[in-house]
């Protein structure tokens, strides 16, 4: 950590900062420039976390040098994490595609969609039972009933299942029915929920928050790993920007960036990332080309009757077309599907 003093900071202020830091068992190195003094901190920077050095008189700013996360970092674990769920590996050579409806609407509809996505090559079935909706007047999901359908169809068709958990009280319930728990973008910094899914022994897919930096996203993953659950899949799903043509701005650079910073697998959700079904295929191809380990795609057999996200859902035909295009990209980057 580097502590930059204000121009004109007094000797007493500088000494005070040095003592403040050394009291924690750290060493300092002082550099007096013509205009400013800089105090470098040597030792375990994490001891300074939560220490409001910036509030000391005479301090201009504090610049951390180390990444604030540990367990999720590639420095901590250089080899990439591969998560095994039944016979599927996430983070390995094979690209994994998760597909299904935004919301689970009925057993029949789910079966119909699940057959279609399985036929096209998806190995994980997605479907929301608890739905975070901007409006209290929108469809809020079928709840436990939806989870039962998901489990039933998953078993019928031999598909792994994933569904969102929205609060701590649902973790046990959702865990009972699904193979992978999803934390949605709006809950990326719901720290109690992160701790709770950190205590279970099922993989967790953590979506990036709408306005979360890559660093904050990794910090949220750190919450889960810290509780003992190392099976975390990151999911880039677009960030909020001024651009309104797409629902969000999919941050494609986040894919190679996360691969460098962390050992965790990363998948991309182009359905939410674009919000426009006509853009989903191109962005899916880009995601795999950039190094993503998988995709999460919303598919519906009747998008115009979908109870949520119809406008960004692909029809089975479109999904099949997407899968064959993505397959060619996967091969070009030396991966299989």
Within positions 80 to 119, which residues make up the interface with a copy of itself, using CB under 8 A? none
Closest to a copy of itself by CB, 41 or 90: 41
Can residue 79 be called a binding residue for a copy of itself (CB under 8 A)?
no
Choose which of 288, 297, 318, 323 interacts with a copy of itself (CB under 8 A): 288
Give the H/E segment covering residue 62: strand 59-63
The residues in 196-235 that bind a copy of itself, with binding defined as CB under 8 A, are 210-211, 213-216, 219, 222-223, 226
User: Could you tell me the smallest distance in angstroms from the CB atom of residue 283 to a copy of itself?
Assistant: 6
Q: Shortest distance, CB of residue 299 to a copy of itself, whole angstroms? A: 12
Q: Are the CB atoms for 58 and 10 separated by under 8 Å?
A: yes
Return all residues near 33 (Cβ < 8 A) that are at least 6 apart.
none
**Rule CB under 8 A: is residue 324 a binding residue for a copy of itself?**
no
- For 317, other C-beta atoms within 10 Å of its C-beta total 10
- CA angle at 244 for the pair 242 and 248, rounded to the nearest 5°: 80
**22 lines the binding site for a copy of itself (CB under 8 A):** no
Task: Please report, as residue ranges, which positions from 1 to 20 form the binding site for a copy of itself (by CB under 8 A).
Answer: 2, 4, 7, 20
CA distance readout (Å), 147 to 33, 164, 165, 176:
63, 10, 11, 9
User: Which of 103, 109, 93 is CA-nearest to residue 126?
Assistant: 103
CA angle 79, 85, 87 (to 5 degrees): 100
| Per CB under 8 A, 172 contacts a copy of itself | no
Which residues are bridge partners to 249 per DSSP? 239
Binds a copy of itself by CB under 8 A, chosen from 83, 285, 318, 323: 285
CB of 39 to a copy of itself, least distance (A): 10
**Sites for a copy of itself among residues 141-170 (CB under 8 A):** 166-169
Least separation, in Å, of the C-beta of 153 and a copy of itself?
22
């Amino acid at each position: 950590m580097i502590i930059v003093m204000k121009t004109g900071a007094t000797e007493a202020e500088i000494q005070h900062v040095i003592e403040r830091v050394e009291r924690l068992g750290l060493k300092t190195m002082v550099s007096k420039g013509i205009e400013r003094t800089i105090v470098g901190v040597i030792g375990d920077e994490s001891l300074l976390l939560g220490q409001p050095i910036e509030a000391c008189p005479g301090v201009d700013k504090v610049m951390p040098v180390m990444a604030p996360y540990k367990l999720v970092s590639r420095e901590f674990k250089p080899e990439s994490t591969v998560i095994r769920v039944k016979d599927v590996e996430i983070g390995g050579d094979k690209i994994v595609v998760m597909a299904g409806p935004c919301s689970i609407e009925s057993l029949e509809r789910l079966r119909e969609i699940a057959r279609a996505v399985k036929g096209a090559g998806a190995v994980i079935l997605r479907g929301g039972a608890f739905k975070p909706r901007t409006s209290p007047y929108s469809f809020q999901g079928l709840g436990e009933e939806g989870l039962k359908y998901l489990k039933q169809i998953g078993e019928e068709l031999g598909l792994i299942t994933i569904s969102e958990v929205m609060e701590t009280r649902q973790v046990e319930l959702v865990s009972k029915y699904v193979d992978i728990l999803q934390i949605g973008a709006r809950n990326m910094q719901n720290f109690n929920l992160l701790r709770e899914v950190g205590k279970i022994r099922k993989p967790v897919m953590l979506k990036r928050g709408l306005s979360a930096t890559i660093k904050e996203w990794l910090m949220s993953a750190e919450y889960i790993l810290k509780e003992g659950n190392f099976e975390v899949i990151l999911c880039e799903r677009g960030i909020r920007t001024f651009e309104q043509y797409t629902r969000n701005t999919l941050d494609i650079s986040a894919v190679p960036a996360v691969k460098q910073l962390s050992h965790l697998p990363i998948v991309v959700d182009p359905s939410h990332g674009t919000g426009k079904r006509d853009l989903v295929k191109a962005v899916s191809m880009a995601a795999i080309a950039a190094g993503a380990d998988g995709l999460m795609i919303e598919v519906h057999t009747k998008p115009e009757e979908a109870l949520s996200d119809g406008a960004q859902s692909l029809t089975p035909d479109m999904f099949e077309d997407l899968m064959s295009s993505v397959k060619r990209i996967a091969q070009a980057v030396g991966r299989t599907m």
